[in-house]
Amino acid sequence: MKVQDFATFKLSDYNISDDYGFILQEPLMPELGIQHLKDYKEKVLARVLLSHIVMGYVWQDADQGVVKVLPRTLAIPYCHLSKILGLPLIMVHADFVLANWKRKDALGPLTMENLSTIVSLPGGNSLQGFVLVTLLVEVAAIPGIKAVVQAIKALLTEDRPTLLQALRNMAQSIQNMGEALQLMYDYVDSDIYYNTIRIFLSGWKDNPSMPNGLLYEGAVDEPLCFSGGSAAQSTVFHVYDELFGINHQPESFDFLLKMRQYMPPAHSSFIDWVKGVPKLSVYVQQSADLDLLSAFNMCVSTLTDVRSLHIRIVSKYVTTAGARARVKGLAAGSGAQHLQERGTGGSLAMTFLKSVRDTCKGGLLKKSTAADC
């Protein structure tokens, strides 16, 4: 280096500020545009990232000192993207699970050992386990979804052999969903779920920690309220309820109906399509075919078993873990107590789950009914 080289020397060439030195001056995130996102998949993945950032920002101090305003640098792109995708302004099941996974080995199977999340919130291995176990439930549902379409086609053409096989395939798929859900006990610590994960999945509707909701700065003029993540946002259970003619109690059904607004619109439309076909239960009853009736009841019974398992999981991970936390003084806040009583989606958790399970069981058909038709 020569003295004359200093004639053009600038600290800024080395990203060094005259006023701040090596410190990055005013390190605030710029407002991000979404105009470069090309297709549906890119937009979905962008929302996955933004949704996790939003939940992390809102719940960074748990339910103590919760923020009331989402900064415009987050709020504006999040609102624009959500409007395009037809999703509410909060993280939903589709963000947290359905689009938040990757294979470790690109050619490997969809198994716990070969899966990882794309984005995570606090909770460590238990958070990853919670997401991936839930994902495996959705993976187990894939053959059942295909069987639903086969069953409807068979119903419309009165093809009993195909309908029977489709129902048996559904029953097996639902059983596999339950086996996948059972993995929750192996991969998720109940105390970590209750004291950490649960908080970051919570919404700002009917939540005393955020009684007025959240203001999306620069995007809306008034605070808005949205329910948090919930298993009720999983489309497959709604599909089965409609196909099997499960008639839930008004309050439970009202909540389930609201949760359909938290699904990708195309998934919700699939539920409507299933709802619009002739009643499968009526056809099975009128057929007087005991094999069909047995297969139908196996589906409903297995679905009831999965919902009973869900109740046991909620009992362990919310009710019992919540009692432990209160004894230890970890859940003294009003918001924590609220979430102990309600699910992250805002429903009265155990009351809702038991109601849904019981009405599901009520969907079983009686042999005498079929024989008398």
Give bridge partners of residue 21 from the DSSP assignment.
17
Cα(64)–Cα(325) distance, rounded to whole angstroms? 16
Strands 102-103 and 115-116: antiparallel
What does residue 152 show for φ and ψ, rounded to 5 degrees? -65, -40
Quick one: tokens of 221? Answer: 């003029």
Residues in the chain: 373
**Helix crossing, 142-157 with 124-140: angle to 10°?**
20
Q: What is the CA radius of gyration of the chain?
A: 25
What does residue 245 show for φ and ψ, rounded to 5 degrees? 70, 40
Determine contact, residues 78/99, Cβ cutoff 8 Å. no
What does residue 206 show for φ and ψ, rounded to 5 degrees? 55, 40
* 52 annotated among ligand-binding-site residues: no
At 115 the three-state DSSP class reads strand
Cα(255)–Cα(85) distance, rounded to whole angstroms? 22
CA angle 56, 196, 83 (to 5 degrees): 35
Cα(132)–Cα(199) distance, rounded to whole angstroms? 18
Q: What is the 3-state secondary structure (H, E, C) of 324-340?
A: HHHHHCCCCCHHHHHHH
Question: Which residues participate in the annotated binding site for heme b?
Answer: 310
Question: Which residues participate in the annotated binding site?
Answer: 310
